[in-house]
Amino acid sequence: MAVNCRPPAAAIGLGRGGVAAGLAVKEKGVDNAFIMKTRTTIALFIALVSTLAQGETFIGPTTATNRLLVPSNSAIVITATFGDFTNSTQVALGEGGAPFPQNYFAPLENGNAYALAGPAELIFSNAVLISYYQVTNSAIFTQSIANDPVGISIASNKTMRLFGVTASVNASFSRPGSSFVSFTLEPNRPAEFTGPGTLMLSSGVLPPYLKFISYFIAEDGFALPNQRVIAGPSGSYAITVEKSFDLKAWSPVILENTSDATKAFYRLRIQR
């Protein structure tokens, strides 16, 4: 994001219970404060909350009453995996989609993440532990990959950022008027591609095995679990949720459980 020596910043204050308090704008060392319309403040807050995430844990195996389901209009971001996933993991994509087995499900290494957009389900036949965040109204997409190549188009000036792949995926990238470059997407190795161009993907395995990848477009913005800010394109604003118990000391809490909402103050900080 663009950085200035003295960047303008704004903090939208929310009182106890989420009541709008006001907006303070600071630019070039001058403070201007004015009261915002309550409806406008709440609308901004709701728009931000739609991307918030809450940590959860799933312990397998999967049973009729113990399932890791991803609802429509939602996604999960998996941040830790423990257990034996060898020949014991299946993924079902789409409403009523049939589960397909994963020939390999690589354990996550520190700092990496998997993602799965709903409606979907992860199915485990072994004892496993999955730590994840569920986000709603997210801009995460999941693409199933068979042995026959499938292409994903990336628009001009857009950047596709991939979450980790659970197994190696054959890939190639090409731009209009140029030749393609072939390579392999590997687990625990981040990747991103900037358009215009087309990313072609192939599983390299025969049915019934399939693979999948999940991604988001960086310019759309997305709150990652290990970040306390909503990332946007260059020149846009970073938005942070902050909490205070005394209206003096503030700390970012965008992913914090809000069970103590009646005991604390919350505000949005908007900074370029």
Domain ranges of the chain: 9-51+224-271, 53-220
Phi, psi of 196 (to 5 degrees): -80, 145
Using the predicted structure, report yes or no on whether residue 45 has a pLDDT greater than 50.
no
Rounded CA gap, 154 and 162, in Å?
Answer: 13
| Percent residues over pLDDT 70 in the chain | 63
Positive/negative CA dihedral, 94, 99, 105, 109? positive
**Furthest CA-CA distance within the chain:** 64
Which residue did the predictor score with more confidence, 55 or 212?
A: 212
Q: For residue 116, give the nearest of 84, 81, 157, 151 by alpha carbon.
A: 81
* DSSP, res 109: P
Task: Residue 90: name the closest of 116, 113, 121, 66 by CA.
Answer: 121
Please give the angle made by the CA atoms of 250, 251 and 252, to the nearest 5 degrees. 130
Q: Highest mean pLDDT range out of 4-8, 148-152, 258-262?
A: 148-152
Instruction: Give the range among 28-32, 81-85, 226-230 with minimum mean pLDDT.
Output: 28-32
Q: What is the pLDDT of residue 217?
A: 87
CATH of domain 53-220: 2.60.120
With a threshold of 0.75, does the pTM exceed it? no
Flag whether pLDDT at 205 surpasses 50: yes
The pair of structure tokens assigned to 143 is: 């693409």
pLDDT tens, 100-113?
A: 998 889 988 877 88
Q: What is the pLDDT of residue 233?
A: 47
User: Which one is predicted more confidently, 100 or 228?
Assistant: 100
Helix, strand, coil tally for the chain in percent (to 5): 10, 45, 45
Q: Where are the alpha helices (DSSP H) in the chain?
A: 38-49
Secondary structure (3-state) at 42: helix
Which pLDDT value is given to residue 269? Answer: 66
Closest by Cα among 41, 39, 47 to 22: 41
Q: In the predicted model, is pLDDT for residue 181 greater than 60? A: yes
Q: b/e for 93-111, b at 16 or more Cβ within 10 A?
A: beeeeebbbbbbbbebeee
Residue 224: the pLDDT is 52
pLDDT number for residue 237: 53
- Is it the case that residue 1 has pLDDT exceeding 70? no
- Of the two residues 228 and 76, the one the predictor is more confident about is 76
By C-alpha distance, which of 179, 187, 171 is closest to 85? Answer: 187
Residue 25 and residue 32 in contact, taking contact as beta carbons nearer than 8 Å:
yes
> pLDDT-derived band of residue 272, with 50, 70 and 90 as boundaries?
low
For residue 239, give the amino acid letter. I
- Give the mean pLDDT of 186-210: 92
Strands, E assignment, 149-230: 150-154, 159-162, 169-174, 181-185, 191-194, 197-202, 211-217
pLDDT tier at 252, thresholds 50, 70, 90: low
Six token digits for residue 170: 């054959």
Average pLDDT, the chain: 74
